[in-house]
Amino acid sequence: MANLKYKNINLHYSVHGNGSAIVLLHGFLENISMWNNVFPVLAINNKVICIDLLGHGKTGNLGYIHSMEDQAEMVKFVLDYLNVNEFILIGHSMGGYVSLALTELFPINIKGICLMNSTAQPDDTEKRKTRDRTIKAVKKYPETFIQLAIPNLFSEENKTVFIPEIKLITKEALKTTQQGIIASLEGMKVRKDRTSVLQTKDFPILMIISKKDPALEYQSLIDQTDNTPVLIKELPDGHMSHVENKEELISVLNEFCDHIG
């Protein structure tokens, strides 16, 4: 674990192993601990860099909105500090949005990306209204919001199967500051449509799609990959594939990264 100063805030990250660089970017309400079961396998033959995104984990807040571009520039700052010039990106949910922003801002540095339970589409009008309602709820009851939100990321049947894991994830999520939660919601609400990335980039792109993901509509994910070279891997359960389908996910990620080299 290491820390770095950036625009007067603390950045928190970890580095494991040696070799080709793989950057792991967590999702909303998560932090680098979400990768604890993933990075040891990837780090056998690679250098794996896990970064706490703005307002999450032990990384501070820059302001009252963390755009995906803000997040991407922070990630690039860490990678420049580590002298990492080429890398594979693996982003879970919001981490996928940040990965897509990185492909737009720094395309020459990217060897491949994996969008894990994520989407290249922006929020539609209804989703933006939902974000606004969520922000109001977080301003009043941040802990209650987290305690309700985490179980609802799992498929219905897995809410009872993974009770210890849900408790642990909730405990980690509760470390997220109220400002960090709101700034991320504001940033996700205004993120750009990056479906063009799926069609135009000349590096490998993998989308991991979960059939029972309560946070993302399955058909919309399939539709946005039509007539693109994007690789698709379908998993059977919910949004938290690193828990619900852990072994299969790790195998898929390892194979994807080994193929790129």
Q: In total, how many domains does the chain have?
A: 1
For residue range 17-28, what is the model confidence (pLDDT) as tens digits?
999 999 999 999
- State the pLDDT at residue 240: 99
What's the confidence (pLDDT) of residue 235?
Answer: 98
Could you tell me the maximum CA-CA distance found in the chain, to the nearest angstrom? 47
Q: What is the mean pLDDT of the segment spanning 213-220? A: 96
Strand 2-6 versus strand 9-16 pairing type: antiparallel
Q: What percent of the chain has pLDDT over 70?
A: 100
Average pLDDT over the chain reads 97
Three-state SS at 233: strand
pLDDT at residue 241 is higher than 90:
yes
Alpha carbon distances (Å) from 174 to 36, 119, 152, 162, 192: 18, 25, 15, 18, 28
Model confidence at 117: pLDDT above 90: yes
Give per-residue pLDDT as tens, 41-74.
999 999 999 999 999 999 999 999 999 999 999 9
Query: For residues 211 and 232, what is the distance between their CA atoms, to the nearest angstrom?
Result: 12
Q: What is the pLDDT of residue 89?
A: 99
pLDDT of residue 196 exceeding 90, the answer is: yes
Per DSSP, the residues of 137-168 read HHHH-HHHHHHHHTGGGS-TTHHHHTHHHHHH
**Angle of helix 125-140 versus helix 142-149 axis, rounded to 10:** 130
What's the average model confidence in pLDDT over 154-177? Answer: 98
Task: Give the mean pLDDT of 253-259.
Answer: 97
pLDDT at 202 over 90: no
Residue 151: per-residue pLDDT:
98
Closest C-alpha among 111, 40, 35, 57 to residue 79: 111
| CATH of residue 8 | 3.40.50.1820
pLDDT score of 186? 99
pLDDT digits (tens, 9 = 90+) for 132-143: 999 999 999 999
Comparison of pLDDT for 118 and 1, the residue scoring more: 118
pLDDT above 90 covers a percentage of the chain that reads 98
Residues in Cβ contact with 258 at an 8 Å cutoff, skipping those fewer than 6 apart:
45
Per residue in 84-113, pLDDT tens?
Answer: 999 999 999 999 999 999 999 999 999 999
Q: Which residues of 130-152 are buried (b: 16+ CB within 10 A; e: fewer)?
A: ebeebbeebeeebeebbeebbbe
At 200, is the pLDDT very low, low, confident or very high (cuts 50, 70, 90)? confident
Please tell me the predicted confidence (pLDDT) of residue 247.
Answer: 98
Cβ pair 23, 64 in contact under 8 A: no
pTM: 0.97
User: The domain containing residue 33 runs over which residues?
Assistant: 2-260
Please say whether the beta carbons of 113 and 206 come within 8 A.
Answer: yes
The CA-based dihedral angle spanning residues 215, 219, 224, 227, taken in that order and rounded to the nearest 10 degrees: 150
